[in-house]
Amino acid sequence: MKKLPTLITCLALACSPLASLEAQNERPPRKEKAKGGKGGSGPRVNKPRIDDTLRANVYADNWFKLYINGNLVMVDSISFIPHNVVSVDILPEYPMTIAVMAKDNADLDTGLEYNNSNLGDGGFILKFSDGTVSNASWRAKSFFHGPINRDMENPETTHKPIPENWFAVDFDDSAWENATEHTEEAVSPKSPFYENDFEGAQWIWTGDLALDNTVLFRTTIESPPNGAPMPPADWPRGHIDSSNR
Ligand SMILES: [Ca+2]
Ligand SMILES: [Ca+2]
């Protein structure tokens, strides 16, 4: 019987979805590190913790890479099939410019797949745990189209050069069209999609799900869409140099 009050507390508070949300927003104070403890020397730095990160869920038919504020943070590790969800933890940074290259599986010369026997289609969807979702407010532009006029007998394609700085924060995407939202039926996602949280997100592409094969998307998120507090301005924002140096 001694355990009962603990159980009731759990049922009433911590186990309800609302309570767990509140618990996330009221994070416990950081433990002060004892002087002379393990770690580097120097002035105390307000460092982010793992529970300061966002969970990013992304699914692309067939492949994507994603930049946040000019830094590469996600790459689909499976180039074509099976279709997969990529989930990573990212440190929020607002305003947050998200830039995505998404590719349908398509031969660069014919626009077809499976040894030029098939016309495939694309699709992209994203949700971050701060409430960021893909939708028609994003900008989109196709850089690889074909087969032109769906001609599978004599397939021809067009390519536009991809701007060198397409993922930069200050890249001008104002001439790009808005992304087109597509139905789940049209994209027909495979099983991993249903095992991850994409609630509220929309499937996006250009207007042509079948013939536009390489699509760039961009959007900027000014503040957490779910109303969460802005991250501290004094978090260290260093970036690892991934070159072979
Ligand atoms: Ca295609
Ligand atoms: Ca495809």
User: How far does residue 200's CA lie from ligand 1's centre (Å)?
Assistant: 26
Any residues with CB less than 8 A from the CB of 64 and at least 6 apart, and which?
58, 74, 75, 76, 86, 100, 101, 102, 103, 124
User: How far does residue 209's CA lie from ligand 2's centre (Å)?
Assistant: 9
Domain count across the chain: 1
Q: Assess if residue 12 is contained within a domain.
A: no
State the alpha helices, DSSP H only, in the chain: 4-9, 17-25, 184-187
- This prediction has a pTM of 0.83
Question: pLDDT at residue 200 above 80?
Answer: yes
Give the pLDDT confidence score for residue 237 in this predicted structure: 78
Domain of 122, in residue numbers: 51-221
In the chain, the percentage of residues whose pLDDT exceeds 70 is 84
Rounded to a whole number of angstroms, the distance between the first and last alpha carbons of the chain is 62
User: How far does residue 121's CA lie from ligand 2's centre (Å)?
Assistant: 4
User: How far does residue 112's CA lie from ligand 2's centre (Å)?
Assistant: 10
| Tokens describing residue 25 | 């927003």
User: How far does residue 220's CA lie from ligand 1's centre (Å)?
Assistant: 27
User: How far does residue 121's CA lie from ligand 1's centre (Å)?
Assistant: 4
| pLDDT (mean) for 112-124 | 94
Q: Assess if residue 96 is contained within a domain.
A: yes
Which ligand has its closest atom nearest to the C-alpha of 211? 1
Give the pLDDT confidence score for residue 28 in this predicted structure: 54
Q: Assess if residue 19 is contained within a domain.
A: no
State the alpha helices, DSSP H only, in 106-172: none
Per-residue pLDDT reduced to its tens digit, 37-60: 455 688 888 889 999 999 999 999
Per-residue pLDDT reduced to its tens digit, 56-93: 999 999 999 999 999 999 999 998 889 999 999 999 99
Q: Assess if residue 23 is contained within a domain.
A: no
User: How far does residue 30's CA lie from ligand 1's centre (Å)?
Assistant: 50
User: How far does residue 120's CA lie from ligand 1's centre (Å)?
Assistant: 4
User: How far does residue 102's CA lie from ligand 2's centre (Å)?
Assistant: 10
How does residue 155 score in pLDDT terms, banded at 50, 70 and 90?
Answer: very high
Q: Assess if residue 43 is contained within a domain.
A: no
User: How far does residue 97's CA lie from ligand 1's centre (Å)?
Assistant: 27
Amino acid at 224: P
Question: pLDDT at residue 1 above 80?
Answer: no
- Look at 124 and 9; give whichever has higher pLDDT: 124
Look at strands 180-182 and 203-205 and give their pairing: antiparallel
Q: Assess if residue 31 is contained within a domain.
A: no
Give the pLDDT confidence score for residue 39 in this predicted structure: 58
Q: Assess if residue 184 is contained within a domain.
A: yes
Cα separation, 215 vs 139, whole angstroms: 10
Residue 71: beta bridge partners? 68
Q: Which residue is associated with the tokens 């355990």? A: 3
> CATH number of the domain that 144 lies in?
2.60.120
Give the pLDDT confidence score for residue 2 in this predicted structure: 42
Per-residue pLDDT reduced to its tens digit, 221-235: 999 999 999 999 888
Q: Assess if residue 142 is contained within a domain.
A: yes
Give the pLDDT confidence score for residue 106 in this predicted structure: 96
